[in-house]
Structure 1
Amino acid sequence: MAKTVALLDYGSGNLRSAHRALEKVGAEVTVTSDPQISVNADGLLVPGVGAFAACMAGLNAIHGARIIGQRLAGGRPVMGICVGMQILFDEGHEHGVHSKGAGEWPGAVERLHADILPHMGWNTVERAADSQMFAELSEEERFYFVHSYGVRDWTLETDDLTTPPSVAWAQHEGDRFVAAVENGPLWATQFHPEKSGDAGLQLLFNWVDTL
């Protein structure tokens, strides 16, 4: 039986390409803002395109942070993409505007320290050797990024009883930022797997395979 994925529609996301990519890797996809469907699906995918504040406004309008939190409290998988990853952090600072995020991870989204922005195009990712997210993918694989802001400092602390998150990094003009996170049932990528060809499809397959 196909795994069910709720693709969260909160007015800020590349829904069509994400929908197609998920179907290609065998998921049964429902585009929805309905809390019950979003909570009960095998997986929840949170896309995101645009400014942090606008995405948070859309997320708050459908009580999206509550949906994400409810799923994670029950150990049910959630994956965020691009700004859908950024809004999982405590706060965002864009264009002089400070916005509160969903607060699943400590940290701030801020402008990258680079002369050329946005960081747009293909880039490699430094990740842990035992990563589930990047299983079957070589270290030379490239993924598609398009962003000017990111998380430049990972601050989540864990104790001896908690499995530490697996954090992947990328660089643009020498500035290092979080490219992906695997933290129990919560996964996220700064890049767009749905726009990253076969490598991105493999990554999405790896996520769906965990559902």
Structure 2
Amino acid sequence: MKKLVIILGLCTVTALTGCTKDMSNRDVYEESGNTINVNNKRHDLYNEGASRGMRNVSNNYGFVRHQKSPLMNDNTANDHYSALDREQAANIISKLSTDIPNVSDVSTLVTDQEVLIAYNTDSKDRNLTADQVKKTAMSVVPRYYHVYVTDNTVLRRDVENLANVDSTSRNARNLVNGLITQMKKSPQGQRINASEDENGRTADDNIGRDNR
């Protein structure tokens, strides 16, 4: 009888230990609130827009427009999130760019290899502002991306219209290239370095590639 009681007692302790360990893991990895849900956060980085009805990120460009808040010390635009899909990248770039002095309205389009940004500014140094907007975008996207900017607000509509173009369509690349040609008439900022031009293109990028 005593042996049976001892065995039952050990089983109970083991079961409680297992439950406690399991609950501990849930506290760290599964709860919401102030704890971090590791699995969900990892999923959000790659597919955050799936539950929001966003377009299929593999077949479409990402487009987001942000305007600077008219309220002083409004930091809602500083809620920057990390993401790897095109629409989320456009979201981050637009938000960050509205923090730049003299930049109040930013439309960003992210393709599979470029970032196109149209913004409104009253800056007296257009080239400096273009450089700041461009480098902001480059800090978000992978290094192989090329960034094109324009402060010509007439081109904003063209950038926005491309957001509705299926990136897999036959004419999509021609439309993007045509808009890039128009955007490059605006200041593009400084060269990235000795081997890369203002948009981050190298001599190798121009070999066997579409002329942009």
- State TM-score, norm by structure 1: 0.27
- Structure number with greater CO (CA < 8 Å, separation at least 6) is 1
* Bigger CA radius of gyration: 2
Give the number of the structure whose residues are more often helix, by fraction.
Answer: 2
- State TM-score, norm by structure 2: 0.26
Give the number of the structure whose residues are more often strand, by fraction.
Answer: 1
